[in-house]
A and B are shown apart, each in its own frame.
Chain A
Amino acid sequence: MLLLELFWSFVKIGFTSFGGLSMIPLISSEMISHGWMNAHEVSDIVAIAEMTPGPLGLNCATFAGMRAAGIFGAFIANMGALAPTFTLCAVAAVFFDHFRDNKRLGQVMTGVRPACVGMVAGVVIDLAAANYIDAGGGVNVPSAVLGVVDLVLLLRFKVSIPKVLLLSAVVGIILFGVMGL
């Protein structure tokens, strides 16, 4: 039953995601509503997925599947996330020339892309709330300052994502581990 739920969750995630970040809103809502992850763990998996090879959606599938139901769960979740590839994409491969010149696909994406931007913006606020605000409701100053520094490094100085994540891990060890903030 758990395996079936896991598979179905990732089928839904697979069919409504269009590259990279667009999966995060649904992954976040599916994982949290089933109790497979909390908001902190969703943040962790986004970070881990960015630092390891492989696409975000499949890395999330492996992480969530393994935590929910072991190695077999990870495999089942991956197959769910790849369901559009097995079905839609296999059909598209047969009729490749028709798909290449299909106008509708571009029209659909004209609306789906801004919808994804809107949803991802919502997720950023959710994750920021989970990571910068303490259980008591106050802002966690060290985390918030680190977040602002990271944003400046990424946008102003064009530092790569894995480097920013690694730097933040080191700063985390110093601030929260050594200094005990």
Chain B
Amino acid sequence: MLAKLYLQFLKFGSFTFGGGWSIVAQMKELYVDTEHSMTDEELLDITSIGRSLPGTMIGNIAMFYGHRIAGFWGGVACMFGMITVPMIILLLITSFYTAFQNNLWVASAMRGVRAAVAPVILSALMGMVKSAFKLPPCIAVGIAMFALYYFLRVSPIMLVVIGAVLGLIICEYYERRPAKDAAA
């Protein structure tokens, strides 16, 4: 059972490029559409909770799925299955990168790639903006955290904690406000 889970996730893990959504798509294909061992809703629940817990989204999804089938060790089997292939590929690339970092052609290619990194992150950031700024005060949180990070170099850990606390305050405020209005 554990071996089967490991191998299934080994396959999922080999075909993910940039982001975890391709894993979710592959899980849907196998478990929802082919095996019918899971419904769309169950997969959606696992995905949305896996995404909002800290850590790597697909690691969390693998843990949830494996746990459902075979307990904690099932989760561990899925997680290791998923990271095996990407880790081997990246170990090879890292060795290559370290060995050829100063080669003219590799260095030139990397200079080109570096020029693309800020635009790549910026374009992905645009995709995050919509879901991040649901309530007006969230915009102020974003600007304040930017200033604290960029100008005052406050640690990202501190900023995530501050963000979490502000999130609780903002949501509680919005939930209580209509009640007050009604009373007045």
Contacts and interface: CB of A to CB of B under 8 A. Distances in A.
Interface string B140-178: 011111111110000111011011111111111000000
Interface string B39-56: 000000100011111111
B8 to A, nearest CB: 16
Interface string B98-139: 100000110111111111111111111110110111110011
A121 B142 CA distance: 9
Nearest to B160: A16
B164 A112 contact: yes
Contacts of B90: 48-49, 52, 54, 59, 62-63, 74
B25 interface: no
Given A90-B75, A100-B45, A154-B120, A176 B86 contact: no
Range of interface residues on chain B?
35 or more
Contacts of B45: 96, 100
Contacts of B157: 12, 16, 26
B52 A176 contact: no
B28 interface: no
Contact of A105 (B19, B52, B170): B52
A55 B67 contact: no
A177 B104 contact: yes
Chain A, interface SS category: helix
The 7 A-B residue pairs with the shortest CB-CB distance, nearest first, are: A172-B112, A111-B167, A54-B86, A115-B163, A84-B55, A118-B145, A177-B108
20 contacts: A17-B56, A21-B121, A25-B156, A26-B155, A51-B18, A54-B87, A55-B59, A85-B63, A92-B49, A104-B168, A107-B168, A114-B133, A114-B141, A114-B163, A116-B132, A118-B141, A122-B146, A131-B114, A150-B120, A165-B116
